[in-house]
Amino acid sequence: MIKRIGVLTGGGDCPGLNAVLRAVVKTAMVKYGYEVIGFRDGYRGLVMNDYMKFKPGDVSGILDKGGTILGTSNRDNPFSFRIEKDGKVEYKDLSERVMDNVSMLEIDGMILIGGDGTLTSARDFFSKGLKVVGVPKTIDNDLCSTQVTFGFMTAVETATEAIDKLHSTAESHHRVMILEVMGRYAGWIALEAGIAGGADVILIPEIPYDIDKVAKKIIERKNAGKGFSIVVVAEGAKSLDGQVVVRKVVSDSPDPVRLGGVGNKIADEIEKITGIETRVTVLGHLQRGGRPTPYDRILSTRYGVAAVEMLHEERFGVMVSLQGDEITCVSLEDAVGRLKTVAPDGELVRIAKSVGVGFGD
């Protein structure tokens, strides 16, 4: 019989995390009378036994706040945990320590909120006997087993607002304006914000681009009397040679390659080919911050409530999922390891091309 549950937020932050936490705590306490333990800074808190006992007032006023009151981390994997000793770094499997901490705190089930990395560890903990339910989180919207992840629509709105603002300065100065957005392997933010913002060119990882065709699109607009163009590019966009632009490599990170700079590369190439002044705006972590949109607040709340209900119903080893209009669940095994990417011949790409958007292909 469940009496106490635990919760953590892992991976990169995004709008809506606090809304999920609020829904988890309120549903657990009000509907079921459970106690709720929150672990700080993602899996690090679970390994180091760093936690807080939630009181009802702890989640008051956080529905519209970005970030996460628990903190988060995208570097700490309990199955390969970084330990520094005597100036040397080594990685150890501390998953058994996690199991001991959960047992010591008499936690009857865990809600783990995060993206593919966080949920992969959730799957592995379930195989060790931990009673877990996952909640899908990523602004990239690239988890394959749910229709939409919370945080995505807020990121799209942020990017769309940026495009709207760039339009006026691009038109005034007769420039090409490039907006670089997040999207390592999946171009959903670039694609949807580009359509919503009226971009002229959208470059995404799923469709390798030919820079000459990008330049041709811009020159055609100029010859038609439109002296400016808007280009939206995902950070993981690839040219025909298949190479991405790497900003730096963080050797001690589970995901060491940091992308960034593709916008500047494309800007230099466009200026060289067209002679048109080209400027770049890198949206960066602005996409992760700020107040979640009403859509994301509602979706986050639905996910949080459903996660507690899954624990109550003893449906463990699953991730809550949006399928159509319904919140359901899928197994963690099916939820991780495969990314949902943009189909090059899918509807969104097709309608974008129908209204004249170029993809450099």
Distance of CA 261 to the CA centre of its chain: 19
Is the separation of the CB atoms in 332 and 145 below 8 Å? no
The dihedral through the CA atoms of 347, 349, 353, 357 has a sign that is positive
Q: What DSSP letter does each residue of 276-317 carry, written as one string? A: --EEEEE-GGGGT-SPPPHHHHHHHHHHHHHHHHHHHTT--S
The values of phi and psi at residue 185, to 5°, are: -115, -20
The values of phi and psi at residue 6, to 5°, are: -115, 160
Active site residue 50: no
Q: Token digits for 238?
A: 């690839």
The catalytic position among 13, 76, 140, 200 is 140
In terms of Cβ atoms closer than 10 Å to its own Cβ (0-12, 13-18, 19+), residue 4 is middle
Residue whose C-alpha is closest to residue 157's, from 293, 335, 327, 62: 293
State the greatest distance between any 2 C-alpha atoms of the chain, in Å, as a whole number. 72
Cα separation, 129 vs 102, whole angstroms:
11
Active site amino acids: 140
